[in-house]
Amino acid sequence: MKKQYKLGVIGCGFMASAILRGAVLSDFIKAKRIIVSDTSIEKLENMGQELGVTVSDSNRYVAENSEYILFAIKPQTFPEVAQELKGICPEKVISIMAGVKKAKIKNSLGVGIIKVARCMPNLPCSVGSGMMAVDMSDFNSDTDDTEFISKLFGCMGEVLSTDESKLDAVTGISGSGPAYVFMFIDSLIDAGIEQGLTKDEAKLLAVQTVIGGADMVVHSQKPLSELIMSVCSKGGTTIEAVKVLEENNFRGIISNAVAACVKRSEELSR
List pLDDT tens digits, range 236-269.
999 999 999 999 999 999 999 999 999 999 998 8
Q: How far is CA 185 from the centre of its chain?
A: 21
Residues 115 and 220 in one domain: no
Residues 121 and 58 in one domain: yes
Whether 104 is covered by a domain: the verdict is yes
Q: What is the pLDDT of residue 89?
A: 82
Average pLDDT, the chain: 96
Residues 56 and 106 in one domain: yes
Residues 140 and 114 in one domain: yes
Q: Which of 164, 194, 216 is the last residue of a domain?
A: 164
**Residue 127: C-alpha distances to residues 17, 22, 115, 161 (Å):** 11, 9, 29, 21
Whether 170 is covered by a domain: the verdict is no
Q: Which residue intervals of the chain are DSSP H helices?
A: 14-25, 41-51, 59-64, 78-84, 102-109, 143-154, 167-170, 177-194, 199-219, 224-231, 238-247, 250-269
Q: Which has more pLDDT, 89 or 22?
A: 22
Nearest to 4 by CA among 53, 59, 65, 55: 65
Mean local confidence (pLDDT), 21-45: 97
pLDDT-derived band at 121 (thresholds 50, 70, 90) equals very high
Q: What is the pLDDT of residue 110?
A: 79
Q: Which has more pLDDT, 90 or 69?
A: 69
CA distance 46 to 55: 10
Do strands 5-10 and 157-161 pair parallel, antiparallel, or not at all (unpaired)? unpaired
Residues 155 and 237 in one domain: no
**Residue 28: C-alpha distances to residues 8, 22, 95, 144 (Å):** 15, 8, 19, 14
Residues 9 and 102 in one domain: yes
Q: Which of 164, 187, 210 is the last residue of a domain?
A: 164
Q: What is the pLDDT of residue 169?
A: 96
Q: What is the pLDDT of residue 269?
A: 84
Mean local confidence (pLDDT), 4-14: 97
3-class SS letters over 102-116 = HHHHHHHHCCCCCEE
Whether 35 is covered by a domain: the verdict is yes
Whether 225 is covered by a domain: the verdict is yes
Please, which residues have CB within 8 angstroms of residue 129's CB and are 6 or more apart in sequence? 157
Q: How far is CA 179 from the centre of its chain?
A: 13
Residues 184 and 257 in one domain: yes
Nearest to 266 by CA among 176, 159, 172: 172
Q: What is the pLDDT of residue 270?
A: 81
Residues 249 and 124 in one domain: no
CA distance 119 to 96: 5
Quote the percentage of the chain above a pLDDT of 70: 99
Flag whether pLDDT at 155 surpasses 70. yes
The answer to whether 184 touches 245, Cβ cutoff 8 Å, is no
pLDDT one-digit tens code per residue, 72-111: 999 999 999 999 999 898 899 999 999 899 999 999 997 6
What's the CATH number where 37 sits? Answer: 3.40.50.720
What's the CATH number where 247 sits? Answer: 1.10.3730.10
pLDDT-derived band at 214 (thresholds 50, 70, 90) equals very high
Q: What is the domain extent for residue 198? A: 175-269
Q: What is the pLDDT of residue 85?
A: 94
Residues 137 and 19 in one domain: yes
CA distance 70 to 53: 15
Residues 122 and 207 in one domain: no
Q: What is the pLDDT of residue 111?
A: 66
